[in-house]
Structure 1
């Protein structure tokens, strides 16, 4: 940068304006000086900036300092601090896109260093801070540093003194002063000539009688002026004293001679204003004396004139002596200051030398100690290192355990949120990309298709290491309306154990991702055959059908009581009721009929696009007639499903056949029940069929209330089914079908139906451990007091027990 800037200056030639800015560092006052210089000169053409910084000379002498790293480190540290100190000022120039050159000067005299830099580099404009700002980091004996800089700076340079970002004073260069004098010369000459004429006329009028005295006084004044000018040339001190002395002498002499009377005007001799009292020749005695003896009077005047002349010269000599004496005192004081500074630097160097020697001794002792370390110390250090590693390993293990615990807590919280269900608070589904759905389904291969209906095709695939069912809706992108996205948002936040869980979606392509149900639909199980498979499915036993009826009713009740508006399925049928591994039922396709504008070419089970939505045999007659959908429409479809659970027959004409069988007293009702379900309890089977017939009434006002009439009956039938299932399982266990040992309750010694973990760490049947805690406060396994009476459901064990029983029954 320095070479580039020098080349630019050389190209500019003599017309370049070189501006130097003297700064200390990065305080606010220094920034004000730089900011003023940029504002004043940066906009001008052919301007070159130089940044001046003066720092004290290095106190470490080269001859005395040791030739090791101490001096080098010290100098590098000083250079680094200087660069950091000047960095803000450099940034200010860079921000204005102005190039500048940094000059770091080493000197103990700030003013002389700056003056020499101005002389060497031809600097025409110098910008400094006021002395009150304390721009430089060390103090000189002279209190006003900016004044001294102005005095010693070459006269061809203009000095600008800045205080608080504003111009405080300017010392113009000789070029500016000469220009000013030339401009004002004509006016001054006119004034001087007028004044001289006035003085001459006045003098000739008033001193006409004493021409000799007047001429000698004028000559005396001229001598006074020349001597004073000589003294002023030698020193700038006592100028005012010289002028005052000459005035006093001339006035005194005139007063002693008694030549003038009092007057209000003054006469100037040779540039000196003599303020005195003019006297006229009113003293007649003096006048006559002068007239009577002119020779003696003239001789006396000559003597007085010579005497006064000698007095003036003597006084000027004394003034010159005083000036010389003052200069000697100043020089002596400077010598004393330099001696004191030299002593301080010598003392500082001595201290540094002592500290360096001490440091060398410490290093040498440490080196010897390291070389002669005892074996016991090495062993201790090895043991300490081993302990440190063990601590680090334990810390890492602790952090990993905490991370795993946090992950388990988050997973538990996620599962609890999923099991709570119901609240429409936040989005609970994942948005899948269309490309990953296409890749997972092998471009919607027919081999992965597991179902097809009026709303779309269903494919089984793996997404994110999870087996899922993807339903691709039969609808163009243009038909995916705002209603679809609103209902999708609602479905993603509905949670119920017997509603099919929506895992995610691809809204842009009308694709829904559900949890996969391994045992297919209820329709497939009732017909004992899976699609695309000739292998028959094991039939559902009657107690499982009672339980499924209750599960469907509880899910419908949840939908119908949703706030703020009930949710109506409108397409409830056995094909939309899915079964998991344990034959637990879940309702699917909730709300889809309201969200999608169906394509008539794919809606074979629907009347038409503008007519009622649903499958023919499950559509409410009133809804079919009026087009108004109500929760009772789902009640009608649920009644038909109850009749199919009992008979495993088609829905067409099923209600009429069962009504006829109930009226017949010859036992035809038992014959119409599904024989593959086992030995039906006739009484309970009739109750379920009668509930189904009431739900399938033609008018909705004749249908029973779901919460008050249907659910209580099905709840009782579910309890009967649960007892029958347990008895059936025990019967199978008696035939060498033993359960794993951890399935048994330690208290009842039976397979648990509702396992819970107590505070002692063991799992018990909830009912048994609750009764135990009411009477005892000690663990039945450890005989130690329970820390607390908290019971946590063991969901993983319950799932394993259910799966074991399902396989056992199959």
Structure 2
């Protein structure tokens, strides 16, 4: 426990330094409309994806291959989301956040670094991709998401809540480093004297189905803990490989109060497999089984419907996930040797 505390304190200092210096050296280009028209091919071969804001195309602008997101005229999103994304991504950089290269205000177009290796959703839903999605990689993804969220929640001068964390918004670059994307409904949070928790209040809460914080949905108050809720569902998906819809209830009902953490490894594995909680594509040894149980426990705690009962991302969740990541890295190097 002492080691985890030391690691956490070191990480906290690093995050604070990164958050306060995150805008240094940030370059941002304002593209003109003709550049967008000339560079973006409007055909299916260059279409990378579609979302609530619009269509994402692969294009070449100023000798760099980028991803260009252009507002769809029929979208319910628009100028507000466009400006919000720029306001947030223009001033920060982090290895686990997508980089915004620039924008075109006249076209409501956003230009990002190209992340060519798909989404976390692809790796969880596509049977073939899930088969090759190892436990070590899943732990690394969980670590990267946690690191990015801690960075956002400690951003200066205002903490940032992503607000739409889900596998479809987690992309992979050419080195398989995952990055959070889609900050259109993210918010800069304000400190309050009444609760001490930074928040943003809205009359129209927005989010994505099973990843949306129930308290945010009911009260309109977005907090860092709203991202923790979504993280919890994703952690459960990384272990189970299952759809997010009804997943938490499904696992709670299956376990029927069983305290997996207190069981020996063989029984843990037997129960996880028998109850079909563990993704059948995963072949785990004893150490990894123990980590899978920890991840299920963290996922259930993070996705508690009551915000005050969710664990602290920095103090409880990140150190535990980082400990798993280091364990998997050491374990992997032992296997290579």
TM-score by length of 1: 0.34
Cα displacement (A) at 1:489: 3.8
Quick one: structure 1 residues 538 and 710, their matched pair in 2 at CA, closer, same or farther if it must change by over 3 Å?
same
- C-alpha deviations, 1:337-376, integer Å up to 9, x for none? xxxxxxxxxxxxxxxxxxxxxxxxxxxxxxxxxxxxxxxx
Give the corresponding residue for 1:431: 30
Correspondent of 2:119 among 502, 521, 526: 521
Quick one: structure 1 residues 684 and 423, their matched pair in 2 at CA, closer, same or farther if it must change by over 3 Å?
closer
List aligned pairs for 1:191-202, cutoff 5 A: none
Give the corresponding residue for 2:218: 625
Quick one: structure 1 residues 594 and 645, their matched pair in 2 at CA, closer, same or farther if it must change by over 3 Å?
closer
For structure 2, the 5+ residue unaligned runs are 1-17, 188-201, 261-266
Correspondent of 1:593 among 185, 208, 222: 185
The answer to whether the 8 A contact 1:430-1:503 is kept is yes
Structure 2 Cα separation of the partners of residues 476 and 452 of structure 1: 13
Cα displacement (A) at 1:484: 4.6
Cα displacement (A) at 1:479: 5.1
What is the DSSP-based 3-state SS (H/G/I as helix, E as strand, rest coil) of the residue aligned with 2:296? helix
Number of residues paired by the alignment?
A: 290
Cα displacement (A) at 1:475: 5.5
Decide which structure has greater helix share: 1
Give the corresponding residue for 1:24: none
The answer to whether the 8 A contact 2:122-2:129 is kept is no
Cα displacement (A) at 1:646: 0.7
Correspondent of 2:284 among 679, 704, 707: 679
Structure 1 Cα separation of the partners of residues 106 and 70 of structure 2: 11
The answer to whether the 8 A contact 1:526-1:539 is kept is no
What is the DSSP-based 3-state SS (H/G/I as helix, E as strand, rest coil) of the residue aligned with 2:221? coil
Give the corresponding residue for 1:488: 86
- C-alpha deviations, 1:263-282, integer Å up to 9, x for none? xxxxxxxxxxxxxxxxxxxx
Give the corresponding residue for 2:332: 725
Say whether residues 1:692 and 2:299 are aligned partners.
yes
The answer to whether the 8 A contact 2:53-2:78 is kept is no
Quick one: structure 1 residues 486 and 634, their matched pair in 2 at CA, closer, same or farther if it must change by over 3 Å?
closer
Which has the higher mean CA deviation after the structures are superposed, 557-566 or 718-727?
718-727
Correspondent of 2:149 among 553, 556, 568: 556
Give the corresponding residue for 1:660: 253
The answer to whether the 8 A contact 1:451-1:458 is kept is yes
Cα displacement (A) at 1:476: 8.5
Cα displacement (A) at 1:434: 2.1
Quick one: structure 1 residues 440 and 643, their matched pair in 2 at CA, closer, same or farther if it must change by over 3 Å?
same
Correspondent of 2:312 among 695, 705, 717: 705
Tell me: higher relative CO, structure 1 or 2? Use CA pairs within 8 A at least 6 residues apart. Answer: 2
What is the DSSP-based 3-state SS (H/G/I as helix, E as strand, rest coil) of the residue aligned with 2:67? strand
What is the DSSP-based 3-state SS (H/G/I as helix, E as strand, rest coil) of the residue aligned with 2:138? helix
Structure 2 Cα separation of the partners of residues 718 and 426 of structure 1: 30
Give the corresponding residue for 2:54: 456
Cα displacement (A) at 1:578: 0.5
Quick one: structure 1 residues 630 and 489, their matched pair in 2 at CA, closer, same or farther if it must change by over 3 Å?
closer
The answer to whether the 8 A contact 1:544-1:721 is kept is no
For structure 1, the 5+ residue unaligned runs are 1-419, 530-534, 596-608, 732-810
Structure 1 Cα separation of the partners of residues 176 and 283 of structure 2: 17
- C-alpha deviations, 1:143-182, integer Å up to 9, x for none? xxxxxxxxxxxxxxxxxxxxxxxxxxxxxxxxxxxxxxxx
Q: State the Cα RMSD in Å.
A: 2.6
What is the DSSP-based 3-state SS (H/G/I as helix, E as strand, rest coil) of the residue aligned with 1:635? helix
Cα displacement (A) at 1:465: 2.7
Structure 2 Cα separation of the partners of residues 574 and 568 of structure 1: 16
The answer to whether the 8 A contact 2:131-2:281 is kept is no
TM-score by length of 2: 0.78
Give the corresponding residue for 1:647: 240
The answer to whether the 8 A contact 1:449-1:457 is kept is yes
Quick one: structure 1 residues 471 and 479, their matched pair in 2 at CA, closer, same or farther if it must change by over 3 Å?
closer
What is the DSSP-based 3-state SS (H/G/I as helix, E as strand, rest coil) of the residue aligned with 1:460? strand
What is the DSSP-based 3-state SS (H/G/I as helix, E as strand, rest coil) of the residue aligned with 2:161? coil
Quick one: structure 1 residues 585 and 708, their matched pair in 2 at CA, closer, same or farther if it must change by over 3 Å?
same
